[in-house]
Amino acid sequence: MQQQWDEMHRTRKPTFLLCGEPQGDVLNLYVHGYSAFFNRQQLGNFKAQLASIEGSTNLMLFWPAGHFLENLFAPFKDVMGAMLGGGSLGAATVGVGKAIAYFLDHYKSVEARVDEVARSLLPELASYLHGESLEVRRINLIGHSLGARILVKSLLASPEIARELPLDNLLLMGGAICTSSPWDEVSAPLKGRVINCHSSKDWALAMKPDTERCIGRYAIPVTPALKTKVTNVHLASFDHAAYWPQLQTVVQYTDLLHERRGMIRSDQRSTEVRFAEEDAQLFPALVQARPEELKFLAELMAQKRSASVDATVREPLKLAIELQRMGGDTFMNLARGHGVSYRQIAEDVVRRLGIKFEVPLDTVELADLEAQVAEKLIAQYKDKLSHADRQVFDAQLKAAAQKEQGLFSRFDVGRSATTALSGTALAGLTGFILRRGAASAIPVVGQAVAAAMLLVSGVRAFSGPAYSITTLAVLVIGVIRQRMEREALNQELDLVVQVVEAFDLPRETVMRTVASD
């Protein structure tokens, strides 16, 4: 690893690195973006992550993308010294100006290398495969940020070589390239599709120092000619840093390896399947759910006698379809060919719980709906517990909240659960319920409807046990969504820690400053 790191930084020449042992005749080529690795340990961790993608041979292009911490010591030290050491506002302003100017210059210098890297990529790839005697049947190209731009430009720069290589899919994640690129030319040599993963939460691209409307934030315009060649995948919960840590999820969700587990299928089998896969507020969350969360949802829904899933099901698609069915009226489901969207389920649960908002319900953010449901359930749940169980429950919340102390103090365990929540505290609640199992959380389905009660919330099952099930499902899916956002935030905080360690800044003071923001 040290030799590879030193060689690339000495020559500034892109290098192909094999990640793990070859696994069959499908090759995935990964291209990172700007400011990807600050040291060789980060590069080693990235290689290990790529090696964990099963069912393919995994190769990465290590190119001189720089890191914004390079040579940033002077301006950053100026601004941090002014802000944390009691310096004047003028000194802080000058320091900030220097840091911003450095960042813009550094990014532009890296961006200028993109065309050079792109021109050589496909010819060098062909030579590498020949020199290493790697026999491949399909090649998937996967790029993030400026890496996505490199791949797009490489296809435009070397169309003849692109046609000679067995190129299958082009997966672009948070792509830093304009939506108006010539996608007909880009997709022409591909046997598969251009798959554009984008998110409106990608604020890094929103602050990119130019006026490009990037595909990482917006869908690629799909003309009739591109309908079979370009697929846009909206990953609503992703920010710019979320793609690599959740690469396994992205690979499965987009069905990059043709495992028929994800969103992109050649045989869209039914309206019900399509509706579930296109529910961007439900299906991606289930794909990223942990095993115990999927287990809980399966056991929960299996309590209904008419359920089409049993307690052993762990497939996100099947669970999504079943939850959508349970959220809708049986006869209306038959008429339209599918259930209802998760958003509609959440709104329905809010109404049944009697939760009120000052604005129309359809204008409230989904996360706010889920948080209000969780707050009410926590308050009602505690009222139902015995003294001993309430002590265990409070201890669970306290342990969860401690994970955030030192950086954030958003959750005060001494306050009412109806006035304060956080992601980890909400996860603590679900962990408490999960350990008891869904079966103990739901009343016996055979009970009379009038007597059926959701034991953990005290909510009457107004139209049979489905409302008991959808109410708890909204709680659990809200937990998954908050966990995903918290993990993305933790990645950003890791960057702050790197800065602190690189410049030997006062750690506690910096963290208090970050927390106050």
pLDDT, one tens digit per residue, over 103-158 is 666 667 777 889 999 999 999 999 999 999 888 999 999 999 999 999 999 999 99
Write out pLDDT tens, residues 11-69. Answer: 567 889 999 998 889 999 999 988 777 677 888 888 888 998 888 999 999 888 766 55
Minimum mean pLDDT range among 234-238, 458-462, 510-514: 458-462
Closest CA to 308 of 343, 338, 282: 338
pLDDT of residue 515: 45
Give the structural domain span for 324.
Answer: 271-495
Confirm whether 513 is domain-assigned. Answer: no
Last residue of a domain, one of 207, 227, 253: 253
Write out pLDDT tens, residues 387-430. Answer: 877 777 677 666 655 554 433 333 333 433 333 334 444 444 55
pLDDT of residue 421: 38
Confirm whether 81 is domain-assigned. Answer: yes
Closest CA to 239 of 149, 169, 317, 145: 145
Last residue of a domain, one of 253, 279, 314: 253
pLDDT of residue 491: 54
How do 57-62 and 15-19 pair as beta strands? antiparallel
Question: 131 with 100, same domain?
Answer: no
Is 185 or 490 the better-scoring residue by pLDDT? 185
User: Rounded CA gap, 297 and 317, in Å?
Assistant: 12
Question: 362 with 483, same domain?
Answer: yes
pLDDT for 437 beyond 50:
no
Question: 159 with 16, same domain?
Answer: yes
> Is 144 within 8 Å of 32 (Cβ atoms)?
yes
- Host H or E run for residue 59: strand 57-62
> Is 98 within 8 Å of 46 (Cβ atoms)?
no
Q: Which of 80-89, 101-110, 199-208 has the highest mean pLDDT?
A: 199-208
CATH number, residue 9:
3.40.50.1820
What confidence category does residue 240 fall into, taking pLDDT thresholds of 50, 70 and 90? Answer: confident
Question: 77 with 181, same domain?
Answer: no
pLDDT of residue 476: 83
Closest CA to 288 of 334, 319, 266: 319
Confirm whether 510 is domain-assigned. Answer: no
Q: Which of 252-256, 280-284, 506-510 has the highest mean pLDDT?
A: 280-284
Minimum mean pLDDT range among 134-143, 222-231, 457-466: 457-466
Question: 37 with 83, same domain?
Answer: no
pLDDT of residue 420: 33
- What end-to-end distance do the CA atoms of the chain give, in Å? 38
- Calculate what percentage of the chain has a pLDDT beyond 90: 26
Confirm whether 512 is domain-assigned. Answer: no
Question: 239 with 345, same domain?
Answer: no
Question: 278 with 416, same domain?
Answer: yes
Q: What's the pTM?
A: 0.57
Confirm whether 391 is domain-assigned. Answer: yes
Write out pLDDT tens, residues 306-354. Answer: 788 888 999 998 999 999 999 988 778 877 888 899 999 999 999 988 8
CB atoms within 10 A of CB 16: 17
pLDDT for 495 beyond 70:
no
Burial classification of residue 232, based on how many CB atoms lie within 10 Å of its CB (0-12 exposed, 13-18 middle, 19 or more buried) = middle
pLDDT for 189 beyond 50:
yes
pLDDT for 485 beyond 90:
no
Is 495 or 270 the better-scoring residue by pLDDT? 270
Is 196 or 456 the better-scoring residue by pLDDT? 196
What is the Cα gyration radius of the chain? Answer: 25
User: Rounded CA gap, 315 and 312, in Å?
Assistant: 9
pLDDT for 291 beyond 80:
yes
Confirm whether 108 is domain-assigned. Answer: yes
How do 459-460 and 453-454 pair as beta strands? antiparallel
DSSP 219: P
Confirm whether 35 is domain-assigned. Answer: yes
pLDDT of residue 288: 81
Contacts of 341 (CB under 8 A, 6+ apart): 275, 279, 281, 282, 324
Question: 32 with 175, same domain?
Answer: yes
Domain count, the chain: 3
pLDDT of residue 146: 92
DSSP 214: B
Question: 217 with 290, same domain?
Answer: no
Last residue of a domain, one of 196, 223, 253: 253
**Mean pLDDT (the chain, rounded):** 74
Question: 246 with 371, same domain?
Answer: no
Question: 163 with 221, same domain?
Answer: yes
pLDDT for 284 beyond 90:
no
Confirm whether 373 is domain-assigned. Answer: yes
Question: 207 with 283, same domain?
Answer: no
Q: If you count them, how many residues does the chain have?
A: 517
Write out pLDDT tens, residues 375-388. Answer: 787 777 667 667 87
> Is 471 within 8 Å of 373 (Cβ atoms)?
yes
User: Rounded CA gap, 384 and 441, in Å?
Assistant: 12
User: Rounded CA gap, 256 and 370, in Å?
Assistant: 31
pLDDT of residue 214: 92
